[in-house]
């Protein structure tokens, strides 16, 4: 099931439902692509038709961002909790460890993906992370060869948005992995280099507020939330 906000689709599935579908996709040799949706991306897509098409091309659009939840409530939809990119990634790691699926980490600064790999191995015993590659390799063929050689089932791409999404759509059909997720700065967080908001803020959906205090120069970017809500109500 999907709901549409200003022309952008968002899945109503929970972490559990998505994780089950993704493992099924791997087992049935189906390629799938997960993209995190937030008000910033929806607003960008209003002026950028190519981006809107790209977001709608994904198999699963997850409601990352409290703005999408509010819009769903206002419009009488069913989405009531966030599915964040990083938590979806961690959930998928957990399921992959249980089901013996192999993972490749592509992106972030040199060394970060290796650190993230170590942290994930400590956290999910039995996890198979079969390869890593930093996000500054210019030769696409070097990247693709490393991924295909690893024979991974799941590819996490951390190049920032929307670069990572364009990269996935361009290459997923000539790559071995089945499940693709663009994860932004998640390797920086998983490796421990970047701190996430405390659980208290996360639970209340106030991660944006925490970031506003820590990085006040972001306030302009955050104006997009009220603008998005007004537009969504008028839709
Ligand atoms: N990055 C990369 N290659 C590039 C540009 C960026 O691997 O050419 C990485 C960067 O090191 C960081 C991530 O992409 O780990 C971007 O994270 P950000 O939080 O900016 O993601 P967004 O907010 O765009 O989802």
- Note the pLDDT of residue 115: 98
Contact 179, 154 (CB under 8 A): yes
Q: Quick check: is 220 in a domain?
A: no
> Does the residue 27 lie in any domain?
yes
Q: What is the pLDDT of residue 221?
A: 78
Residue 232 belongs to a domain: no
How far does residue 11's CA lie from ligand 1's centre (Å)?
Answer: 24
Q: Residue 230 falls within a domain, yes or no?
A: no
Q: Which residue's C-alpha comes closest to atom 15 of ligand 1?
A: 108
The predicted pLDDT at position 222 comes to 80
Please tell me the residue having the least CA distance from ligand 1 atom 17.
185
Ligand 1 center from residue 213 Cα (angstroms) = 21
In sequence order, the 6+-apart residues with CB closer than 8 A to the CB of 13 are: 1, 21, 60, 83
Token output for 149: 């050689």
Phi, psi of 38 (to 5 degrees): -140, 170
Average pLDDT of the segment spanning 131-148: 97
Higher pLDDT, 181 or 235: 181
Kindly tell me if the per-residue pLDDT of 205 is higher than 80. no
In which band, very low, low, confident or very high, does the pLDDT at 99 lie, cut at 50, 70 and 90? very high
Q: Where are the beta strands (DSSP E) in the chain?
A: 2-5, 8-11, 32-37, 60-63, 102-107, 128-133, 154-158, 179-182
Tell me the whole-structure pTM to 2 decimals: 0.94
3-state helix, strand, coil in the chain (%, to 5): 55, 15, 30
Cα 186 to averaged position of ligand 1 atoms, centre (Å): 9
Mean pLDDT, to the nearest integer, of 13-37?
97
Predicted pLDDT at 179 = 98
**Residue 135 domain boundaries:** 2-191
**What is the mean predicted confidence (pLDDT) over 106-122?**
98
Q: Which protein residues touch ligand 1 with a CB less than 6 Å away?
A: 107-109, 135-136, 158-161, 184-185, 187-188
Q: Alpha-carbon Rg of the chain, whole angstroms? A: 17
133: CATH:
3.40.50
Q: 37 to each of 23, 32, 76, 111, 115, how far by Cα in Å?
A: 21, 16, 19, 28, 27
Structurally, the chain folds into a number of domains equal to 1
């Amino acid at each position: 099931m999907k709901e549409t906000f200003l022309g952008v689709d968002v899945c109503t599935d929970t972490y559990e439902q998505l994780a089950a579908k993704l493992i099924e996709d791997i087992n049935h040799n189906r390629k799938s692509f997960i993209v995190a949706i937030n008000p910033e991306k929806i607003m960008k897509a209003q002026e950028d038709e190519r981006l809107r098409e790209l977001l709608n091309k994904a198999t699963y659009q997850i409601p990352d961002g409290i703005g999408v939840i509010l819009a769903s409530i206002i419009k009488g939809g069913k989405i009531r909790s966030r599915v964040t990119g990083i938590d979806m990634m961690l959930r998928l790691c957990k399921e992959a460890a249980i089901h013996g699926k192999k993972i490749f980490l592509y992106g972030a600064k040199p060394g970060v993906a290796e650190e993230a790999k170590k942290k994930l191995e400590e956290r999910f015993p039995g996890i198979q992370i079969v390869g890593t590659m930093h996000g500054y390799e210019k030769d696409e063929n070097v990247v693709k060869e490393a991924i295909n050689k690893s024979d991974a089932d799941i590819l996490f791409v951390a190049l920032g948005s929307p670069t990572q999404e364009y990269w996935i759509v361009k290459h997923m059909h000539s790559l071995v992995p089945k499940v693709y997720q663009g994860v932004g700065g998640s390797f920086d967080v998983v490796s421990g280099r970047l701190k996430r908001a405390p659980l208290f803020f996360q639970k209340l959906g106030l991660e944006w507020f925490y970031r506003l205090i820590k990085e006040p120069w972001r306030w302009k970017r955050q104006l997009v939330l009220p603008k998005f809500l007004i537009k969504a109500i008028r839709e």
